Structure 1
Amino acid sequence: MKNELVVKDNALINASYNLEVTEQRLILLAILNARETGNGITADSKLEIHAKDYASRFDISNDGAYKALKNAVLNLFDRQFSFKEQDKKGNVGTVKSRWVSRIKYIDDSATLEITFAPDVVPLITRLEQHFTSYQLKQVSQLTSKYAIRLYELLIAWREVGKTPKIELEDFRNKIGVEDTEYTAMNDFKKRVLDPAIKQINKYTDITATYEQHKKGRLISAFSFSFKLKHQPKIEKIVDLKRDPNTPDFFIRMTDSQRHLFANKMAKLPELSEYSQGTESYEEFAIRIAEMLLIPEKFRELYPYLEKLGFK
């Protein structure tokens, strides 16, 4: 699987919702669909997901993919989530929204067509300082819906490698555990938390542990620590002092660096030749951030990085 970056606003990462594995995967594929076509996402966008694409990306049978897409028509439309939002005066309120405003399954072509709800669109498309990005391949083998949500929550703290203490009720809401599910702590850890940690450690790019915090004799909160696994070098990383004109010149930037400079580069008139159609600055910045992962494109764009102060 090629490197496919999923970008979500941290308000969405930290939202409380309960989506099954199939539904979470469909949301991710719809995000990638918009990125690959270069058309971006609006409240009117009809994003297509093909059963064969779903099958190949998540290594399941075509028949399983057909059923997943059909079931999504029945379930995904009814799914809701909530998130915190701040108004211009600094007041924080809780927003409740559906995930999609429209969903359609085309039987003849085994295609699902999704239109995101208006409140979801800006949380997916805007590229500001509060965002989380990760590659689809990191969650493609996770079969626990709780593991996918927990990975997203953890990777939002990638720069520090640990989370703050998360109160138990808040944590349960964030990873999608219903109030009536696994109310006994032993059941919660056995059915939800421990299997999620096990899958994350086995299939993703991080190794995570958790610490439980008590009030009296009862567990009241959890905190998490994680480390990135050693990744084999795909491209030769060179010293910053090397000549950028050499064929193997490539500097691996951190995610925060890529998105920071991509956001600036999107507004440079000299880069207009790289833009596509009527895409917004935010959509253009997302594509530039992906281009900076590709050595050839990085070398093309390096003069503009230097111009903006990258050292």
Structure 2
Amino acid sequence: MNETYKLEEEGEYIPYCIGTIRHDGVVSTSNRLIRPIELSANEYKALLYAMAAANQTEKNNGSGEITEQTYIYLYKDNLGELLGLEKRNSVNVAIDRIYKELSSRVAHFIIEESSDAPRKKTKKVHSVVPIIRELRWEDDLKNAIQLRFTSEVLPYFTQLAGGNFTTYQLKHLFALDSVASMSLYTFFIKNEYKYQSHESYTIDLSLDELKDLIDNKKKYDRWVDFKRYVLDKIIKEINQYTDLDLAYEVIKKGRPIVGIRFKLKDRHSNHQKVALKSAEKVYLDVPFEDNGVVKSLGAKFDTAVRAWYIYKGDTNYKEFSRWFKKEGCLTESQANMVVNDSLFQMDFAEVGISLEDFRRTMKHKLKNDAVFVQSIRDRLKGIFNANII
């Protein structure tokens, strides 16, 4: 459970939240956040713990709760458990190191801005910004790290309801021992939605792209050393501790190896794959906090219509019953897309009604009035470029 409190200090009230994040919890981050730079594995996990606490607090208390002034408390016992540290001295040493090093770390983002070039509407800008606004570690108690995120970083893991983000299960990330493994794992999870309709898929990366991704640009110039000491260890770790089934083959230009073709497969049996391939999609109405749960049960995310789905022949079909939407209606995320469509607003908004009231009323109608939804079926197909009812 996560809660937001007010801490009275010197006559002022300072907002703070306490995250008690379970090992099977989830964390969501914007896809524009590449990764924190030069972090140790424990620093990265501490940041994920804090981001998960911010995610949960935002969902439980509404938007706008987490700001640059909000302290997030990472309690030593919880953090030690998530880091896999049992002995008290080990926990203290790890947290002391996190405290000393984390305050100077920065994050890497890709931002799209308007382009001055006549043939390009937008340009991609790489940006590096500080992660932590303030970090506190009380000498006497030493029971919790207290941190505040910078305003530049916060939007990338809070207020994500309408954005382009990916949800990760903490148990998979925390099971990995290296930042390199975590970086490659999160890269594949972000990209798997592009290949959602495939039983397996491949992703090609040049050696330079791969080394940039895992921050191994200057180490192991020889392929045989990079393969033995880095890549094979990462593949083994991801396959052993996460939900991915990963293999690879080399890409050559003549004799030199210039890249890697990664092969990813789902873990369904062949019998299940055949059955699901011909089955009808069932879209789910999934709250933000349940994203990790439905994903672990086998749901896929349809990026075109912004909704999770399963097939009628799914072996876990009954377990999804609490997320089934009303027959013939839209999910919450689908309804949000429709009411924010400018052409839809022009055609259906009424004179004298505020845009906020229109959105609220129309969203309720889209989620509950199957007759109305059926009457605008062609309009919905135009918005989503797909049949969704």
Q: TM-score, normalised by structure 2?
A: 0.58
Aligned residue number for residue 316 of structure 2: none
The structural deviation recorded for 1:306 is 7.9
Query: How many pairs were matched up?
Result: 263
Deviation (angstroms), 1:16: 7.0
Taking the aligned partners of 1:213 and 1:68, their CA distance within structure 2 comes to 40
Cα distance in 1, alignment partners of residues 336 and 95 from structure 2: 36
Q: Cα distance, 1:258 vs. partner?
A: 4.1
Contact 1:101–1:116, Cα closer than 8 Å, also in 2: yes
Residue 219 of structure 2, aligned match among 169, 181, 185: 181
Provide closer, same or farther for how the CA distance between residues 262 and 134 of structure 1 changes in structure 2, counting only shifts above 3 A.
farther
Q: Which amino acid aligns with 1:102?
A: E
Report the equivalent of 2:51: 31
Cα 1:74/1:261, change in 2 over 3 Å: farther
SS in 2 for 1:155: helix
Higher relative CO (Cα under 8 Å, sequence separation at least 6) belongs to 1
**Could you tell me which residue of structure 2 aligns to residue 73 of structure 1?**
99
- What is the TM-score with the length of structure 1 in the denominator? 0.72
Within 1, Cα distance between the matches of 2:238 and 2:30? 21
C-alpha separation in 1, matches of 2:78 and 2:70: 19
* Structure 1: stretches of 5+ with no match in the other structure: 232-238, 242-249, 269-300
1:66-87 deviations in Å (ceiling 9; x for gaps) = 3222111111122223332111
After TM superposition, give the deviation of residue 129 of structure 1 in Å: 5.4
Q: State the match for 2:206 in structure 1.
A: 167
How far apart are 1:115 and its partner, in Å? Answer: 1.9
- The answer for the alignment partner of 2:259 in structure 1 is 221
Quick one: structure 1 residues 51 and 305, their matched pair in 2 at CA, closer, same or farther if it must change by over 3 Å? farther
Moved more, 140-149 or 107-116: 107-116
Aligned residue number for residue 16 of structure 2? none
Q: 1:203 is matched with which residue: 241, 261, 266? A: 241
Among residues 50, 57, 62, which one is paired with 2:75 in the alignment? 50
Task: Return the letter of the residue paired with 1:111.
Answer: A
User: 1:285: which partner in 2?
Assistant: none
Aligned pairs for 1:5-20 (under 5 A) are: 5-12=26-33, 14-15=34-35, 17-20=37-40
Once the two structures are superposed, what CA deviation does each residue of 1:202-255 show, in whole Å capped at 9, x if it has no partner? 111111012322233222222322223359xxxxxxx999xxxxxxxx997534
- Of the three residues 120, 132, 135, the one matched with 2:153 is 120
1:164-188 Cα offsets, whole Å, 9 max, x none, are 32222222122222x3322222222
Taking only the aligned residue pairs, the percentage that are identical comes to: 23
Moved more, 259-268 or 101-110: 259-268
Describe how 1:216-255 pairs up with structure 2 within 5 A.
216-230=254-268, 253-255=299-301
What SS class does the counterpart of residue 78 from structure 1 fall into? coil
Paired letter, 1:169: D
Distance apart, 1:36 and its partner CA: 2.9
User: Do the aligned partners of 1:16 and 1:83 also contact (CA within 8 Å) in 2?
Assistant: no
Question: In 1, distance between residues paired with 2:368 and 2:79?
Answer: 36
Report if aligned partners of 2:36, 2:108 keep a CA contact under 8 Å in 1.
yes
Q: Give how far 1:132 is off.
A: 1.6
After superposition, the Cα gap between the structure-2 partners of 1:62 and 1:49, relative to the gap in structure 1 and judged at 3 Å, is farther
Q: Which residue identity does 1:9 align to in structure 2?
A: S
Quote the offset at 1:54 in angstroms.
1.4
Matched, 1:135 2:174: no
Post-superposition offset of 1:141: 1.5
Letter in 1 for 2:175: Q
